[in-house]
């Protein structure tokens, strides 16, 4: 399956999970020589709303807005309208068919990603919520529905990327969090359970990896980014 033509600088989306806009801006300035894609999630958005999003966009970078909208279809549609046409590249939603359809109606220039199963969930978490399918089957089922409903892509772990790519083809955008340098099995040291390395995620079919703590908590974030980019190139990124 040919990989999409995505430049190396756009492969890693840095999750700016920090408590205020000043820290986020500091992190962007530190990393922008190497990456130009940044994720604003719940913590930072609650601290600055669109101010930091607009600041990142004004510097010429891309933004993934990861607020994982989940509500009745009309509310999700109205929320997506608020994000639309502001220059944000990717936004995330959860949902069943009706929610995804409503979000798609409002999506305009945004690319919408449906979250399949959070990367912090393992099999036991699904059982605890009364679900009987395996994580992989549920991810595939939800991704297939999202694609059929016209969604641009999905968020899934690197453990499912290969099967998603094989079964659903090249059109679907696959964005993969749960990235840990040098590890394809969780050691239980944090909340992420379905983890892989950046290289493995891209090699098996992910278009982008989302990386937070391994970069934002590192003493030398640039060194971590460079190692991950080397790992991605070693594993078959086409453009570097």
Q: State in angstroms the smallest separation of the CB of 194 from ligand C5P.
A: 9
Q: Are 219 and 186 in contact (CB under 8 A)?
A: no
> Which member of 4, 25, 62, 68 is catalytic?
68
Tell me whether residue 74 or residue 220 sits nearer to ligand C5P (CB atom).
Answer: 220
One DSSP character per residue, 71-108 reads: S-HHHHHHHHHHHTTSS--EEEE---HHHHHHHHHT-T
Q: Is 68 among the residues known to form the active site?
A: yes
First to last CA, the chain: 19
CB nearest ligand C5P: which residue?
Answer: 212
CA distance 235 to 116: 25
Q: State in angstroms the smallest separation of the CB of 115 from ligand C5P.
A: 5
Tell me whether residue 179 or residue 196 sits nearer to ligand C5P (CB atom).
Answer: 179
Q: State in angstroms the smallest separation of the CB of 94 from ligand C5P.
A: 10
Phi, psi of 48, rounded to the nearest 5 degrees: -145, 0
Q: Which residue has 């069943």 as its token pair?
A: 96
Q: Measured in whole angstroms, how far is the alpha carbon of residue 85 from the centre of its chain? A: 20
User: Given phi > 0 = left and psi -120 to 50 = alpha, else beta, which region is 164?
Assistant: alpha
> How many angstroms separate the Cα of 29 from the Cα of each of 22, 38, 45, 228?
11, 11, 18, 19
Q: Are 181 and 190 in contact (CB under 8 A)?
A: no
Tell me whether residue 42 or residue 238 sits nearer to ligand C5P (CB atom).
Answer: 42
Q: State in angstroms the smallest separation of the CB of 77 from ligand C5P.
A: 21
Contact residues for ligand C5P (CB under 6 A)? 15, 17, 41, 66, 115, 118-119, 155, 177-179, 192, 210-214
Tell me whether residue 106 or residue 210 sits nearer to ligand C5P (CB atom).
Answer: 210
Q: State in angstroms the smallest separation of the CB of 2 from ligand C5P.
A: 26
Q: Are 57 and 63 in contact (CB under 8 A)?
A: yes
Tell me whether residue 29 or residue 217 sits nearer to ligand C5P (CB atom).
Answer: 217
Active site residues: 68
């Amino acid at each position: 399956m040919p990989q999409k033509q995505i430049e190396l600088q756009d492969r890693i989306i840095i999750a700016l999970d920090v408590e205020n806009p000043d820290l986020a801006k500091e992190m962007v300035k530190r990393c922008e020589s190497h990456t130009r894609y940044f994720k604003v999630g719940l913590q930072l958005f609650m601290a600055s709303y669109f101010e930091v999003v607009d600041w990142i966009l004004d510097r010429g970078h891309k933004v993934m807005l990861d607020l994982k909208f989940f509500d009745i279809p009309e509310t999700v549609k109205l929320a997506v309208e608020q994000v639309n046409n502001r220059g944000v590249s990717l936004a995330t939603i959860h949902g069943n068919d009706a929610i995804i359809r409503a979000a798609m109606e409002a999506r305009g220039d945004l690319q919408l990603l449906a979250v399949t199963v959070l990367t912090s969930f393992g099999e036991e978490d699904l059982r605890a919520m009364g679900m009987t399918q395996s994580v992989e089957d549920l991810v595939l089922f939800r991704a297939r529905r999202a694609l059929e409903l016209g969604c641009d892509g999905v968020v899934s772990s690197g453990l499912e990327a290969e099967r998603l790519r094989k079964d659903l083809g090249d059109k679907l955008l696959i964005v993969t969090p749960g990235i840990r340098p040098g590890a394809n099995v969780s050691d239980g040291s944090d909340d992420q359970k379905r983890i892989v390395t950046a290289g493995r995620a891209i090699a098996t079919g992910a278009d982008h990896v989302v990386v937070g703590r391994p970069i934002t908590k590192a003493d030398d974030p640039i060194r971590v980014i460079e190692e991950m980019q080397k790992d991605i190139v070693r594993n078959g990124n086409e453009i570097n």
